[in-house]
Chains A and B, each alone.
Chain A
């Protein structure tokens, strides 16, 4: 039995609208209805064969009444069965939906660990990001991979304009206060050192920079190099 990890319900509220809708399968329901109708017909016709001699004794009216009663019983039983089936399917869908939300929640928790500065609410409201991950959520790649792919994609097509894409998703209070935090894992634009990817990207750009541009990035760039040298 797989152990289900409970995640914070507030975090799993994000991106839930992008999850696939889980609906009852109407086609299968119709099929089951048809099957039950066939069965009812069989039952009624079978009864007729076994009681061939008694039919003469009973009056026509009595026969019709019994058949009617039998049909009603069958119908009630059929409806009860359908209801049970529907309830079972609904329960299954609910469980699946809950499982998906839990899985998304777990992925968002992992994402938060890696990108503490990124504001999930801002990311959730980013229509471009929503379009980018549509149909990919809970697929082969987890949320963090999708986000990193998105950031890379925007940088690739946006050139220098795309460099600040991560800043758009930064938590407001952190990006504005400029508080310095030493971090061990991934370090984004708002912190003391550049991420490894950013460092490589900036290293490729520096030879082309003007004095002003270079002076803006060099202190942090040199600090980042020291950081990764010591980390080795």
Chain B
């Protein structure tokens, strides 16, 4: 094989992707499928869209049952333009050094890259959700207001079940399945649930406990804990979360695609390095989309300061 090092770099990019995805909570919960090959010239890729089949009704009594017109799944994919990229430069000009540093099982360099990319991806996605329009917002801090007991609409052990009931009701009223949705919150939500003694650890599904961030199933809702400081506000004294934007979504609520991952070379001019050289960077093209606005919500929650 003439260029095993180059081939190794290609494989490494896939490995890095696999590792950083596993460290995320939000990104991992998204639909990451795409079809076909990424068009590098037009930056386009096809992502699946999930149709709802129509139901035809008739009365058997009057024998009106007749063949319905054929329903072709005309557009099972949608073409999107990918607009984002993340990349890291390597401070080594020799491909053999880069491959050696990155391919070792316990490579510190790779670990650092993986952690950094996971963190960045989570924060970027969380901030994007926090910026969704008001029609995709459920403001629990307003809905939980009780003029006598809870004028600020804080989430407390007394009203946490009510809060979860509200979230479920918002889904049911739009004829969707609650089981498709998951709630992503900060660690403070877990504390409130613990204080309310409803954090049982029972009703576990066989797979969920092994997924990063999974907390429990409370009142029929799967709760996940994210680590995105960007969408939380903390008390200056205690450091506890006092306000947050939780995320209430289904898998297809966000379609997160990474259709191109590679480690590529580029020329470094002689002005930068004597005689010039080849530089290397690990790069990923990615983007995320919300094709079904009714399947993604941001949830405003307020907690007591202490």
Tell me, yes or no, whether A206 is within 8 Å of chain B by CB.
Answer: yes
Q: How far, in whole Å, are A207 and B37 apart by their CA atoms in the complex?
A: 10
Contact indicator B11/A222 (Cβ below 8 Å)? yes
Contact indicator A225/B38 (Cβ below 8 Å)? no
In the complex, chain A residues 182-205 whose Cβ is within 8 Å of any chain B Cβ: 196, 199-200, 203
Residues of B within 8 A of A232 (CB): 1, 4
Query: Which residue of B is nearest A222, CB measured?
Result: B11
Q: How far, in whole Å, are A196 and B112 apart by their CA atoms in the complex?
A: 33
Write the nearest CB–CB distance from B12 to chain A, whole angstroms.
10
Binary contact track B8-41/A, C-beta < 8 Å → 1, others 0: 1011011101100100000000001110011000
Contact indicator A221/B11 (Cβ below 8 Å)? yes
Tell me, yes or no, whether B259 is within 8 Å of chain A by CB.
Answer: yes
Q: How far, in whole Å, are A78 and B62 apart by their CA atoms in the complex?
A: 98
Contact indicator B14/A229 (Cβ below 8 Å)? no
Contact indicator A210/B11 (Cβ below 8 Å)? no
Write the nearest CB–CB distance from A204 to chain B, whole angstroms.
8
Q: How far, in whole Å, are A229 and B6 apart by their CA atoms in the complex?
A: 12
Query: Which residue of B is nearest A160, CB measured?
Result: B37
Q: How far, in whole Å, are A102 and B1 apart by their CA atoms in the complex?
A: 34
The number of residue pairs between A and B whose CB atoms lie closer than 8 Å in the complex comes to: 53
Binary contact track A214-228/B, C-beta < 8 Å → 1, others 0: 110010011011001
Q: Identify which of B11, B17, B21, B262 contacts A225 (C-beta below 8 A).
A: B11
Contact indicator A218/B14 (Cβ below 8 Å)? yes
Tell me, yes or no, whether A55 is within 8 Å of chain B by CB.
Answer: no
With A222-B11, A225-B11 already in contact, the answer to whether A207 and B1 are too (CB < 8 A) is no
Tell me, yes or no, whether B7 is within 8 Å of chain A by CB.
Answer: yes
Write the nearest CB–CB distance from A39 to chain B, whole angstroms.
69
Tell me, yes or no, whether B298 is within 8 Å of chain A by CB.
Answer: no
Contact indicator B13/A225 (Cβ below 8 Å)? no
Contact indicator A206/B14 (Cβ below 8 Å)? yes
Q: Is the interface of A mostly helix, strand, loop or mixed?
A: helix
Write the nearest CB–CB distance from A118 to chain B, whole angstroms.
22
Contact indicator A210/B34 (Cβ below 8 Å)? yes
Contact indicator A211/B32 (Cβ below 8 Å)? yes
In the complex, chain A residues 62-96 whose Cβ is within 8 Å of any chain B Cβ: none
Residues of A within 8 A of B14 (CB): 206, 209, 214, 218
Contact indicator B7/A203 (Cβ below 8 Å)? yes
How many residues does chain B have at the interface if contact means C-beta atoms less than 8 Å apart?
A: 24
Contact indicator B37/A208 (Cβ below 8 Å)? yes
Tell me, yes or no, whether B260 is within 8 Å of chain A by CB.
Answer: yes
Contact indicator B10/A207 (Cβ below 8 Å)? yes
Q: How far, in whole Å, are A158 and B23 apart by their CA atoms in the complex?
A: 38
Residues of B within 8 A of A211 (CB): 17-18, 21, 32
Tell me, yes or no, whether B249 is within 8 Å of chain A by CB.
Answer: no
Contact indicator A196/B11 (Cβ below 8 Å)? no
With A218-B11, A218-B14 already in contact, the answer to whether A210 and B33 are too (CB < 8 A) is yes
Tell me, yes or no, whether B261 is within 8 Å of chain A by CB.
Answer: yes
Residues of A within 8 A of B15 (CB): 218
In the complex, chain B residues 55-103 whose Cβ is within 8 Å of any chain A Cβ: none
Contact indicator A207/B6 (Cβ below 8 Å)? no
Contact indicator B18/A206 (Cβ below 8 Å)? no
Binary contact track A126-153/B, C-beta < 8 Å → 1, others 0: 0000000000000000000000000000
Residues of B within 8 A of A214 (CB): 14, 18
Write the nearest CB–CB distance from B121 to chain A, whole angstroms.
15
Residue among A199, A210, A224 with the highest chain B CB neighbour number at 10 A: A210
Binary contact track B255-269/A, C-beta < 8 Å → 1, others 0: 000011110000000
Contact indicator A207/B260 (Cβ below 8 Å)? yes
Residue among B2, B3, B4, B18 with the highest chain A CB neighbour number at 10 A: B4
- A-B residue pairs, 9 tightest by C-beta: A228-B1, A207-B262, A203-B7, A214-B14, A208-B37, A203-B10, A206-B10, A229-B4, A225-B4
**What are 15 A-B contacts with C-beta separation under 8 Å?**
A200-B3, A203-B7, A207-B260, A207-B262, A208-B37, A208-B260, A210-B34, A211-B21, A211-B32, A214-B14, A221-B7, A225-B7, A229-B1, A231-B1, A232-B1
Q: Give me the interface of B with A, judged by CB distance under 8 Å.
A: 1-4, 6-8, 10-11, 13-15, 17-18, 21, 32-34, 37-38, 259-262
Q: Give me the interface of A with B, judged by CB distance under 8 Å.
A: 196, 199-200, 203, 206-211, 214-215, 218, 221-222, 224-225, 228-229, 231-232
